[in-house]
Amino acid sequence: MTLPGVVYLIINNYIPMYGVILAFKNLNYVQGIWGSPFIGFDNFKFLFNSPDAFLITRNTIAYNIAFILVNLILALLTALLINEIKDKFVARFYQSTFLLPHIISMVVVAYLVYSFLNTDSGLVNRQIVKWFGTDAISWYTESKYWPYVLVIVNAWKNVGYLSIIYFAAIIGIDKEYYEAATIDGASKWRQMTRITLPLISPVIIVMTLLAISSIMRSDFGLFYQVPMNSGPLLPTTNTIDTFVYRAMVGFGDIGMSAAAGLYQSVVCFFLILGANLLVRRISKQDALF
């Protein structure tokens, strides 16, 4: 039964690791991968010597930390709310509203966001901004708003998916715990903090560790397509992935792209090891390994 999954893992995850050697080569298409000259760490120098190296690294890590915290809080609150309501209509409406952006392409999400933020005809400028009596905002030329926009769009895309996982964990808790707590006079708040959250903490830890494992990577669609690749927004929307893509388009440098991917993977590997070690010291049974 595990054979198809193992085969898929080998084909999709392990065989492509052969391409890591490109990070240390100056690829010549005629000579091929093995015949291309070996240049050591020159591809990494190109990445780290870029004037944008600090900016893109800061943006990538800072956004992912914000995404992890905001999505965790909103997903837990939503799951707890749905658990209290437990109404089929509300649950179905909630799933269709929050899961849709997670399922459909980020290209569609980008145009949905554009329909809200378009300077001339966007819903925000035509309706919401007028309520506050302020002038229309040029969303795609003013970078100061985009840290908030990106966090909101990311939450809209992922909170529904995460909260269903937490909701599934909550409904798996034995109801006798709550019955006993009610008999003892425990309020809803105490039931939530003393029963619900502690019992689903292993799921919370696993999901958080998985998120930390990708903290050096960014959602390309979110940071490239949603801001419409607008130049004035680069200080707040440029990440390692979008920087590599622009470098590929501009220079066609596959070696630098491979170096950036290897750099991200190595850093993520040590981050997940460190985070798992921290969890293991606090609660050994909740660690991934």
Burial of 5 (0-12, 13-18, 19+ CB in 10 A): exposed
Indicate whether 30 belongs to any domain: no
pTM for this model (two decimals): 0.83
At 181-215, the pLDDT tens digits run 999 898 888 999 899 999 999 899 989 988 888 88
Length of the chain (residues): 289
Indicate whether 18 belongs to any domain: no
Q: What is the CA radius of gyration of the chain?
A: 23
For residue 201, what are the contacts with CB-CB under 8 A and spacing of at least 6? 283, 286
For residue 258, what are the contacts with CB-CB under 8 A and spacing of at least 6? 19, 20, 22, 23, 43
Indicate whether 268 belongs to any domain: yes
| Per-residue model confidence (pLDDT) at position 166 | 93
At 26-40, the pLDDT tens digits run 888 888 888 889 988
Indicate whether 42 belongs to any domain: yes
Given a cut of 70, whether residue 103 has pLDDT beyond it is no
Indicate whether 17 belongs to any domain: no
Give the count of alpha carbons within 13 A of 37, CB side only: 4
Q: Residue 112 to residues 72, 235, 256, 289: CA-CA distances in angstroms?
A: 24, 23, 33, 41
| Per-residue model confidence (pLDDT) at position 29 | 82
| Per-residue model confidence (pLDDT) at position 97 | 59
Based on the structure, what is the number of domains in the chain?
1
Between these two residues, 120 and 243, which has the higher pLDDT value? 243
Mean pLDDT of 46-62: 86
Indicate whether 48 belongs to any domain: yes
d(CA 275, CA 21): 28
Indicate whether 118 belongs to any domain: yes
Contact 157, 101 (CB under 8 A): yes
Indicate whether 16 belongs to any domain: no
Domain that holds residue 140: 35-286
CATH code, domain with 100: 1.10.3720.10
In DSSP notation, the chain reads --HHHHHHHIIIIIGGGGGGGGGGB--BTTTHHHHSPB-TTHHHHHHHTSTTHHHHHHHHHHHHHHHHHHHHHHHHHHHHHHHHH--HHHHHHHHHHHHHHHHS-HHHHHHHHHHHH-TTT-HIIIIIHHHTT-PPP-TTT-GGGHHHHHHHHHHHHHHHHHHHHHHHHHHTS-HHHHHHHHHTT--HHHHIIIIIHHHHHHHHHHHHHHHHTTTT---HIIIIITTTT-GGGHHHH--HHHHHHHHHHHH--HHHHHHHHHHHHHHHHHHHHHHHHHHHHH-GGGS--
